[in-house]
Amino acid sequence: MAGSTLEIKNLHVEIEGKEILKGVDLTIKGGEFHAIMGPNGTGKSTLASAIMGHPKYEITEGSVLLNGEDVLEMEVDERARAGLFLAMQYPSEISGVTTSDFLRSAINARREEGDEIPLMKFIKDLDKDLDYLEIDQSMATRYLNEGFSGGEKKRNEILQLMQIKPDIAILDEIDSGLDIDALKVVSKGINKMRGENFGCLIITHYQRLLNYITPDFVHVMMQGRVVKSGGPELAHRLEAEGYDWIKEELGIEDETVGQNA
Amino acid sequence: MAKKAPEIDEYKYGFRDKDVSIFRTERGLTRRVVEEISNMKEEPQWMLDYRLKALEHFYERPMPQWGGDLTGLDFDEIVYYVKPSEKQGRTWDEVPAEIKQTFDKLGIPEAEQKYLAGVSAQYESEVVYHSLKEDLEDLGIIFKDTDTALKENEELFKEYFGTVIPYSDNKFSALNSAVWSGGSFIYVPKGVKTNTPLQAYFRINSENMGQFERTLIVVDEGASVHYVEGCTAPVYTTNSLHSAVVEIIVKKDGYCRYTTIQNWANNVYNLVTKRAVVDANGTMEWIDGNIGSKLTMKYPAVILRGEGARGNTISIAIAGKGQVQDAGAKMHHLAPNTSSTIVSKSFSKQGGKVSYRGIVHFGRKADGARANIECDTLILDNESTSDTIPYNEILNDNISLEHEAKVSKVSEEQLFYLMSRGLTEEEATEMIVMGFIEPFTKELPMEYAVEMNRLIKFEMEGSIG
């Protein structure tokens, strides 16, 4: 089998009675890197959280299928074990739980009881990924995200990505708040995941990240919908010209979700 | 609910062995019962006199009207003394097989096998197995059950017994002073330090039997000791009472750490008085874990009476269905430059109630004293409650006191984060709880930390609705 397929069809999502997503269609296959771009407030992060099943978001219409299975019927942890992963924009701090204990639990959550990852293998793999992401070894014994700088949190999210090896990952503004060196390292980690068994949806509002990660598809979100899709050249045009030309094309004045075309 | 909460009859350690006792007193507390206990133990007259004075005080003293509900406690229904077997086991081989099986079921081997030679384990009221590691003996450390210490080290015993917690301290110290049996006695001579923790394992086994152990620890000048005690109790249908007294004396430059994990069955009243006095530059640390019981009232105290003395208390309290944990700490700063920290971590679930109740007192002479209190509570559901009741008494202007209290619920964001990595809601909650009490578990010896994690896991089963 050549990777998984995540199909998002006509997805409508509300928060506290307010509609944020107004019919999103998107299909991500193993081997593909998709980027979703768009200004702030257009529903990009809502899409990420809704796919993963954050309890705050209510799906009012549409479907999300992973290899034909109804993701929306699954609990958050079932979605994760089915192969989804969300690198969060603001990862929670978990006091008293070390990064390595957490990672081992997350890895073992995907394995049968009695078939837990051998400790030595875990440590070896972890050390390798820490080195690859140029993260100090001490992070393994620090409490998860507690007292981490913004950059450390993002690197830690990518560390988790590399360790957990999901089929489809959604990266929600993984580039925000990163300096150029950290951005390169984070991109290096994501690129290492490339392969026919890994699909990725990268959410960003800067083209900057896409200088280091070349997407196969670029989508633009406005007013809670995907309003334009194209190849990597679309990202370059956005960098050069901004979003105004798309708004003009579509006759949009305010691109945020509160507005309708 | 996905899983059923552990009910009383499913309580993990709720098995019950055939009663092997050879002697027990009649039910109820009379002068005759106290005389019989003292007689059975062949005690000196002064101890009998002390017990009888304490008994009088117990009769006179009213029941406390604060803390928890004690109305279910019937002193006439309790057996005050049970002697488990004819003589005290000197070596492990001599310990009756049935008793050994009980220890096996408790899963203490992790803690025990390694330190077997140093374990003092209390089964019912008497210490049945007690052997001292040779290296401790060579250092001149006395570590024996309290009854034996009274026989063999009477002078030393008499010098300190009842000096930290007089029988008149409270109703339950009076009760304990009247009927005490077993417990540990430790004396660490001047300048002697040991890194091997001294361990005892306590357990109640006889229905309706109170456990009134009495522990006395004396750490002489510049000496250092770590005492570890863990408790589990089987379940019975009627109420049991555990009412211990622990007295500790830490002399100049001495250090004492007292680690307890108590995991009582859901029908045990756990009413314990623990107090230490600390001389100049000495340190006392209470590491105190309270799980289970119907009602726990326990406030380990440190009296910092010498200049520069230090006191630390780190405690956790866990209250589940039908349980009340009224626990906390007391720090009395009576001398200059004394310092103390209190870290209290508690969580309640399934309608349980946890209260932090504590006192920090600064006397007139406490110039430059410092205290730091941190109370964190984690509430797992909407039925459970918590309370923080701190008393601060300040009679000196030149002190510093910091108090931080936090009540939190397991947050939706944290759960979402952990579950998005594949952990079930139960596993995620358990991880957050374990992390929450980590400041406590990291202070435990390895074997106990493992056991503690197992207990918490067990406690958490069925907590997620």
Model pLDDT, residue A82: 96
Model pLDDT, residue B95: 54
- Cβ of B412 and A85 within 8 Å? no
Residue of A75, A77, A92 with shortest CB distance to B413:
A92
Main-chain phi, psi angles of B463, to 5 degrees: -80, -15
- Cβ of A85 and B420 within 8 Å? yes
Give residue-wise pLDDT tens across range B21-77.
Answer: 666 777 788 999 999 999 989 999 999 999 999 999 999 999 988 888 888 888 888
B142-145 vs B184-188, strand pairing mode: antiparallel
Q: What is the pTM of this model?
A: 0.80
Model pLDDT, residue B3: 38
- For residue A229, is it within any domain? yes
- Cβ of B435 and A94 within 8 Å? yes
Nearest residue in A to B438, CA atom: A96
Helix (H) or strand (E) holding B113: helix B109-115
- Tell me the nearest-neighbour CA distance from A214 into chain B, angstroms: 26
Q: Where are the beta strands (DSSP E) in B349-414?
A: 353-362, 369-379, 385-394, 399-409
Model pLDDT, residue B208: 39
- For residue A50, is it within any domain? yes
Residue B340's contacts (CB-CB under 8 Å, 6 or more residues apart) are B302, B304, B310, B311, B312, B313, B331, B333, B360, B370, B371, B372
* Identity of the amino acid at A5: T
- Tell me the nearest-neighbour CA distance from B423 into chain A, angstroms: 6
Residue A183 in tokens: 């951005």
Identify the contact set of chain B against chain A, taking CB-CB distances under 8 A.
411-414, 416-425, 427-428, 431-432, 434-439
Cβ atoms of A155 and A187 closer than 8 Å: no
Rounded Cα distance between B213 and B219, Å, is 20
Nearest residue in B to A98, CA atom: B435
Residue A229 in tokens: 């899709």
Q: In the β-sheet with A69-70, what is the strand arrangement from edge to edge?
A: A18-29, A5-15, A57-66, A69-70
- Tell me the nearest-neighbour CA distance from B415 into chain A, angstroms: 9
What is residue A96's three-state secondary structure?
A: coil
Domain count, chain A: 1
Would the pLDDT of B132 be above 60? no
Chain A residues in contact with B431 (beta carbon < 8 A)? 94, 97, 102, 105
- Cβ of B419 and A76 within 8 Å? yes
Model pLDDT, residue B463: 58
Cβ atoms of B310 and B250 closer than 8 Å: no
Residue of B414, B437, B439 with shortest CB distance to A92:
B414
- For residue A71, is it within any domain? yes
- Cβ of B423 and A56 within 8 Å? no
Give residue-wise pLDDT tens across range B270-329.
Answer: 999 999 999 999 999 999 998 888 899 999 999 999 999 999 999 999 888 889 999 999
- For residue A153, is it within any domain? no
Residue ranges of chain A whose pLDDT lies below 50: 261
Sequence-distant contacts of A104-109: CB under 8 A, at least 24 apart: A105/B423, A105/B427, A105/B431, A106/A160, A106/A163, A106/A164, A106/B421, A106/B422, A106/B423, A107/A163, A107/A164, A109/A77, A109/A80, A109/A81, A109/B421, A109/B422, A109/B423, A109/B424, A109/B427
- Tell me the nearest-neighbour CA distance from A218 into chain B, angstroms: 25
- For residue A123, is it within any domain? no
Give residue-wise pLDDT tens across range A165-193.
Answer: 999 999 999 998 899 999 999 999 999 99
Would the pLDDT of B233 be above 60? no
Residue B218 in tokens: 């004396």
CATH, residue A234: 3.40.50.300
- Cβ of A102 and B434 within 8 Å? no
Lowest mean pLDDT of B190-199, B273-282, B386-395, name the range. Answer: B190-199
Give residue-wise pLDDT tens across range A33-54.
Answer: 999 998 888 999 999 999 999 9
- For residue A107, is it within any domain? no
Hey, of B374, B415, B417, which one would you mutate to test binding to chain A, going by the most A CBs within 10 A of its CB? B417
Would the pLDDT of B222 be above 60? yes
What ipTM, to 2 d.p.?
Answer: 0.96
- For residue A261, is it within any domain? no
Chain A residues in contact with B423 (beta carbon < 8 A)? 77, 105-106, 109
Residue of B421, B434, B436 with shortest CB distance to A80:
B421
Main-chain phi, psi angles of B33, to 5 degrees: -60, -45
- For residue A189, is it within any domain? yes
Model pLDDT, residue B7: 41
Report residue B232's pLDDT band, with 50, 70 and 90 as the boundaries: low
Domain range enclosing A71: 5-92+167-250
Nearest residue in A to B424, CA atom: A77
Nearest residue in A to B433, CA atom: A96
Main-chain phi, psi angles of A186, to 5 degrees: -60, -45
- Cβ of A80 and B439 within 8 Å? no
What is residue B423's three-state secondary structure?
A: coil
- Cβ of B422 and A88 within 8 Å? no
Residue of B416, B420, B435 with shortest CB distance to A97:
B435
